[in-house]
Structure 1
Amino acid sequence: MLRTARLELRRWRDEDRAPFAALNADPEVMRFFPRPLTHAESDQMADRIEAQFAELGYGLWAVDVVGTGAFIGFVGLAWQRFPAHFTPALEIGWRLARAAWGHGYATEAAVAARDFAFRPTGPDGAGMDEIVSITTRTNEPSQAVMRRIGMTSDPADDFLHPNLAPDHPLADHVLHRLRRPA
């Protein structure tokens, strides 16, 4: 578990699945993804997240607002292994319910996940030298979070996501990187 001033990043609970399915079904939350997810697809994603925790001890943490216990989404670390010039790579990512937007929660939680990624390998860190974050070119809100946590991009790293047709409106992706501070 990770804590910030306002948030708790923790392992998933069974009661997280219904609000997670609701946010994954929200067309506005999912506007930078190919489509909203069904409840079953959302549950499958939660299962994959838990499998990574079981294997590595870290992953996409469920996020609660301290004092309310309200589940607002996830922020954390996930391995990307699809074929691309930068994979395999540990990606930092987030997905929050619409009601949680505009409060700085994504940035606050991403700083905690970023710091975990760079601490030495063990229960308090992943021991990484570099993390990445990717999104479709049109997802300016996520790119703003990437910049706020210190990530940078190079247009030479931009790519077409291999899991989307090249002419899909969301295929054009940007890559942001961050190296561990010296």
Structure 2
Amino acid sequence: MILEGPRLILRPLEDADAAEFAAMNGDAAVMRHFVKPLDFAASEAFRARIAAHFAAHGFGFWGVFRRDAPGLVGMVGLLRVAFEARFTPNVEIGWRIAAAHQRQGYAEEAARIALAAGFGPLRLPEIVAWTIPDNEPSWRLMEKLGMQADGTFEEPRIPEGHPKRLQRLYRITRAEWVRSRMG
């Protein structure tokens, strides 16, 4: 599944994207809201998990590319939540934009494209997102996308006591998304 927007093309990551993907995942500034940056091997393992998700479900985290310039802008997409929580089973939307491309509206444009795919052809009933409370740009984007805050939770894949274990949860239903597009 390849998705397109006014400025962007979202497509599955390929082997040729590995170096740029790893550079983004290894950038301490890009990864400041995550537990730690990823080395090349961890980035490749993540890319393999994304590819497996695409193979199993037909969607995943897409590579984000500008129409007018070569190179990876970031990744945005949809994944089935891989742990049990009060909001699972569900699908999450997530994004990560390379430092050189931040604050240019790419995350919002790509996230809107991904939501349209999720609630359109994929017919998902709800999509969730989360981030640490300090990641204001991310939770502000969740709000711009029409997602509603739904408290906090502890991310079970992050060790107890870690400062990034506490997450702000946001969610939007297909019906809410449809209403927001009509208004």
TM-score, normalised by the number of residues in structure 1: 0.92
Which of 154, 159, 164 is residue 160 of structure 1 equivalent to?
Answer: 154
Residue ranges of structure 1 left out of the alignment (5+ in a row): 120-124
Q: Is 2:21 aligned against 1:27?
A: no
Structure 1 residue 87: Cα displacement: 1.5
Q: CA RMSD in A?
A: 1.1
Structure 1 residue 143: Cα displacement: 0.5
Structure 1 residue 150: Cα displacement: 0.8
Deviates more, 1:79-88 or 1:167-176: 79-88
- Separation in 1, partners of 2:59, 2:91: 11
- Separation in 2, partners of 1:57, 1:45: 17
Q: Deviations over 1:95-115 (max 9, x none)?
A: 110011010000000001001
1:128 alignment partner in structure 2: 124
2:181 alignment partner in structure 1: none
- Separation in 2, partners of 1:48, 1:164: 18
Q: Deviations over 1:20-75 (max 9, x none)?
A: 10011111111111111010000010011111111111110111011112211100
- Separation in 2, partners of 1:10, 1:165: 32
Identity of aligned residues (%): 42
What letter corresponds to residue 8 of structure 2 in structure 1? L
Structure 1 residue 12: Cα displacement: 1.4
Which of 167, 171, 174 is residue 168 of structure 2 equivalent to?
Answer: 174
Structure 1 residue 82: Cα displacement: 1.0
- Separation in 2, partners of 1:30, 1:77: 19
What letter corresponds to residue 142 of structure 2 in structure 1? M
Q: Deviations over 1:119-162 (max 9, x none)?
A: 1xxxxx2111100001111111111111111101022xx11111
Residue ranges of structure 2 left out of the alignment (5+ in a row): 179-183
- Separation in 2, partners of 1:32, 1:173: 11
- Separation in 2, partners of 1:53, 1:162: 23
- Separation in 2, partners of 1:62, 1:137: 26
Which consecutive segments of 4 or more residues in structure 1 shift more than 4 A?
none
What letter corresponds to residue 153 of structure 1 in structure 2? A
> Following superposition of structure 1 onto structure 2, how do residues 49-128 of structure 1 map, counting pairs within 5 Å?
49-119=50-120, 125-128=121-124
What is the DSSP-based 3-state SS (H/G/I as helix, E as strand, rest coil) of the residue aligned with 2:75? strand
1:145 alignment partner in structure 2: 141
Structure 1 residue 165: Cα displacement: 2.8
